[in-house]
């Protein structure tokens, strides 16, 4: 007010600021008491992008740190997840994803999660289905990527060597597997292909 003295105005501003801080602390204590006997929304292990997780665990409304202890909902999309975390200070609900997205190759405007694409490419490169066995995701406590694998789309191993094997190493193994080859640098008393390979390597 214009007629209020400066000292009284400063006192009221100080009281108002202290009241706001007290109410904020009370909300945090109330949320902590409710979390004491709280059953977690989600359990197990997740594959997350640490850079995205650390950048999203911050409330843009009140500039306070968030915690997964206040997780209220999780939606799973394969290995990716959408977290809904409640801010204990301003009680604002923030939603964010645990993986980056890439545009779908079909060009229909959809997006794919990076972690799911990498998992699929890894399975194709290793000549295995989506999971080695149905019990694998359960043992790792990770979400299942698919309810049933698709054996028709799995590459069958061939008799040709994999491209990742060095041609020089294949030639060395082929040479040392010959029974008549005796390396001159060998100091081992063992005989047979295993001794030749160890000495030549």
Question: pLDDT band for position 187 (50/70/90)?
Answer: very low
**131 is a domain residue:** yes
Q: Does residue 171 surpass a pLDDT of 80? A: no
**80 is a domain residue:** yes
Distance CA 159, CA 157 (A): 7
**188 is a domain residue:** no
Question: pLDDT band for position 85 (50/70/90)?
Answer: very high
**1 is a domain residue:** no
**Domain that residue 136 falls in:** 20-153
Range ranked top by mean pLDDT from 142-151, 152-161, 164-173: 142-151
Residues near 102 by beta carbon (within 8 Å), at least 6 away in sequence: 111, 112, 113, 114, 117
Q: Does residue 99 surpass a pLDDT of 80? A: yes
Q: What pLDDT is stored for residue 3 in this prediction?
A: 64
Q: Are 47 and 115 a contacting pair, CB within 8 Å? A: yes
Burial group, residue 57, by CB count within 10 angstroms (0-12, 13-18, 19+): middle
**118 is a domain residue:** yes
What's the pLDDT tens digit per position in 20-59?
888 877 777 777 666 655 566 677 888 888 999 999 999 9
Q: What pLDDT is stored for residue 173 in this prediction?
A: 44
Question: pLDDT band for position 177 (50/70/90)?
Answer: very low
Number of domains making up the chain: 1
**122 is a domain residue:** yes
Q: Does residue 155 surpass a pLDDT of 60? A: no
Q: What end-to-end distance do the CA atoms of the chain give, in Å?
A: 89
Phi, psi of 83 (to 5 degrees): -100, 140
CA proximity to 173, closest of 196, 147, 142, 192: 196
| Mean of the per-residue pLDDT values of the chain | 70
**Tokens found for residue 49:** 């992008």
**163 is a domain residue:** no
**48 is a domain residue:** yes
- At residue 110's C-alpha, the angle toward residues 104 and 116, to 5°, is 60
Q: Does residue 67 surpass a pLDDT of 70? A: yes
* Residue predicted with more confidence, 113 or 179: 113
Q: Does residue 162 surpass a pLDDT of 50? A: no
């Amino acid at each position: 007010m214009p007629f209020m003295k400066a000292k009284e105005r400063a006192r009221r501003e100080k009281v108002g600021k202290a009241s706001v801080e007290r109410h904020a602390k009370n909300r945090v204590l109330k949320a902590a008491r409710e979390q004491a006997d709280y059953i977690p929304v989600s359990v197990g292990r997740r594959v997350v992008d640490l850079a995205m997780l650390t950048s999203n665990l911050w409330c843009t409304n009140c500039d306070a740190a968030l915690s997964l202890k206040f997780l209220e909902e999780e939606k799973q999309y394969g290995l990716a997840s959408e977290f809904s975390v409640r801010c204990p200070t301003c009680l604002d609900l923030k939603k964010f994803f645990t993986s980056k997205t890439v545009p779908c190759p079909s060009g229909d405007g959809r997006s794919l999660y990076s972690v799911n694409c990498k998992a699929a490419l890894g399975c194709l490169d290793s000549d295995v289905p989506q999971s080695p066995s149905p019990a694998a995701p359960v043992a790792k406590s990770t979400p299942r990527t698919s309810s049933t694998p698709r054996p028709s789309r799995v590459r069958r191993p061939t008799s040709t060597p994999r491209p990742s094997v060095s041609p020089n190493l294949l030639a060395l193994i082929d040479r040392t597997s010959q029974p008549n080859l005796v390396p001159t640098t060998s100091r081992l008393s063992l005989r047979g292909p295993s001794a030749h390979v160890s000495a030549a390597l």
